[in-house]
């Protein structure tokens, strides 16, 4: 049976985002435009993925607090999560970590080092990824494990069924170019041009190695689903992954 995953799209309507995640994730993705206030009305999903965003998790935007509440409730129901960039920061924030602004953007293809296993099984220890962020997780949540980092800080963590990565493994070259060019109002043209010059087939091919983490995540989710099904059979109960409606607490602003 195909996995059913909630795609919590925080990209403010950017069409690249669902296209990229649908290409990379072998699952039935049910998309919610969370930056417009759309959230699932139940927890009947095998997992959830939180995307990148131009927002900061500490902004006082009307959609952010409800997203955090739904995410917290889903995590409490043992739903596996993958967060990318903003999603990574949001998950860290929700489960007790700290997110702060950086002194500068990290932008372009960069080298990140992982600590083995988990999402990074089969990926070179030092691997190439595309980065674009000016916020970062400065303190991990309690009980979380650091899984990846570089000279700019934390690039990955795991806490139980919750996984976060700061970089963008889902990006294709078109997205990397568009996002970089869109930073001209925030960064000098010469820096933007240097980053654009580094977006080429060779570097993109190297960065594709990180896409293995999507396969690793879905494999993990399938294993967790199988474990729940076995527990249901053993207990003689029908597990409902939190099938009750969310209720007012998740949707209220």
pLDDT tens for 223-249 read: 999 998 888 888 765 445 544 445 433
Q: Is 159 a catalytic residue?
A: no
pLDDT of residue 237: 54
The catalytic position among 133, 159, 170, 238 is 170
- In this prediction, residue 252 carries a pLDDT of 29
Residue-level pLDDT at 235: 78
| Residue 24 annotated among the catalytic residues of the structure | no
Catalytic residue among 100, 143, 168, 227: 168
pLDDT for position 99: 99
How far, rounded to the nearest angstrom, does the alpha carbon of residue 195 sit from its chain's CA centroid? 23
Residues of the chain with pLDDT under 70: 236-253
Fold of 4-240: Rossmann fold (3.40.50)
Count of helix runs (H) and strand runs (E) in the chain: 8, 9
Q: Which of 24, 85, 88, 106 is catalytic?
A: 85
Report the alpha-carbon distance of residue 78 to residue 106 in Å, rounded: 32
**What is the structure's pLDDT at 247?**
44
Tokens of 81: 């999560």
Report d(CA 67, CA 81) in Å as an integer. Answer: 13
User: Could you tell me the residue ranges of all domains in the chain?
Assistant: 4-240
State the pTM of this model: 0.92
Cβ-Cβ contacts under 8 Å for 53 (sequence gap 6 or more): 10, 11, 12, 35, 85, 86, 87
Distance CA 108, CA 106 (A): 7
- What integer pLDDT is reported at residue 111 of this predicted model? 99
């Amino acid at each position: 049976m195909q996995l059913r995953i909630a795609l919590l799209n925080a990209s403010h309507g950017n069409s690249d985002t669902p296209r990229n995640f649908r290409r990379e994730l072998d699952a039935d993705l049910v998309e919610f435009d969370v930056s417009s206030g759309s959230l699932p009305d139940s927890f009947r999903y095998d997992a959830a993925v939180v995307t990148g965003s131009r927002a900061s998790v500490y902004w006082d935007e009307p959609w952010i607090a409800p997203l955090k509440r739904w995410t917290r409730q889903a995590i409490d129901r043992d739903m596996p999560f993958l967060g990318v960039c903003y999603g990574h920061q949001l998950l860290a924030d929700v489960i007790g970590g700290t997110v702060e602004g950086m002194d500068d953007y990290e932008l372009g293809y960069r080298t990140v080092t992982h600590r083995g296993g988990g999402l990074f099984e089969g990926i070179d220890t030092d691997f190439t990824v595309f980065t674009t962020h000016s916020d970062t997780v400065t303190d991990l949540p309690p009980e979380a494990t650091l899984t990846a980092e570089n000279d700019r800080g934390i690039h990955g963590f795991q806490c139980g069924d919750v996984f976060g990565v700061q970089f963008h493994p889902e990006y294709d070259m078109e997205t990397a170019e568009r996002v970089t060019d869109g930073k001209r109002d925030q960064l000098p043209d010469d820096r933007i041009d240097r980053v654009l010059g580094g977006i080429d087939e060779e570097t993109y091919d190297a960065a594709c190695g990180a896409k293995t983490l999507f396969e690793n995540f879905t494999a993990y989710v399938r294993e967790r689903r199988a474990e729940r099904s076995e527990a249901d059979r053993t207990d003689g109960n029908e597990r409902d992954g939190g099938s009750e409606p969310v209720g007012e607490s998740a949707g209220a602003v």
